[in-house]
Amino acid sequence: MTLCGLWHGAGWNYIAFGALHGLFLVIYRLWQEARRGAPWLAWLARGLNTAPGHVLCVATTFLTFAVSLIVFRTTTFTAAGTMLRHLFVRTEGLRMPLHSNGLWYTLALVAVAHLVGHFGVWRRVQERVPAPMLGGAYAFALSLALLFATDDGKAFIYFQF
């Protein structure tokens, strides 16, 4: 895993990212062995094999990976420490670059899109609208997304290599 981190770039942050993921794998393997060898952990294993337990395992894996990306994206360990500290200690922070209700707008859009997909509304619309008009609508939607996207000046990470 350390070599995998080094593959991403020649920097200590990439090496630490790989080593951190190696450590996560070691902890997981130790957990698997401890769970098999210790009968007193059987109740925990049974609990994790339920639907809520599975959700907890997926959430833990996602959060662990997401937090480890801080080490990957920062250029110094000091910056990584600052970012990690600001995750857990209340700070004033920077002003939001987007509208303060942006989260609620996004959640409403996701809910509407979910309902449209669930009830098959979009499939029926696609069958009735001519293909050139549908293509134009997609192009218009993409143009709006590009127009309203924030320009933070950061390129996609793999464009650096």
Could you tell me if 10 and 82 lie in one domain? yes
Nearest residue to 72 (alpha-carbon basis) of 34, 151, 16: 16
Same domain for 50 and 70, yes or no, is yes
Q: In tens digits, what is the pLDDT along the chain, a chain of 161 residues? A: 888 888 887 788 889 999 999 999 999 999 888 877 777 777 888 888 899 999 999 999 999 999 999 998 888 999 999 988 988 888 887 776 667 788 888 899 999 999 998 999 888 888 999 999 999 999 999 999 888 877 766 666 666 65
**DSSP state for residue 159 in the 8-state scheme:** G
Q: Do 107 and 83 share a domain, yes or no?
A: no
Q: Same domain for 30 and 108?
A: no
Residues 91 and 35: their CA atoms lie apart, in Å, by: 39
Whether residue 119 lies inside any domain: the answer is yes
> What contacts 122, CB < 8 A, 6 or more positions away?
116
Domain carrying residue 134:
102-148
Same-domain status, 65 and 138: no
**Tokens 């939001």 sit at which residue?**
96
The torsion angles phi and psi of 75, rounded to 5 degrees, stand at -90, -20
Shared domain check, 125 and 69: no
Domain boundary among 93, 110, 128: 93
Residues 78 and 6 in one domain: yes
pTM: 0.57
- Look at the chain and report how many structural domains it folds into: 2
- 41, 72: one domain: yes
What is the predicted pLDDT for the residue at 3? 85
Evaluate whether 74 touches 13 at the Cβ level (below 8 Å): yes
From 68, 93, 118, the end of a domain falls on 93
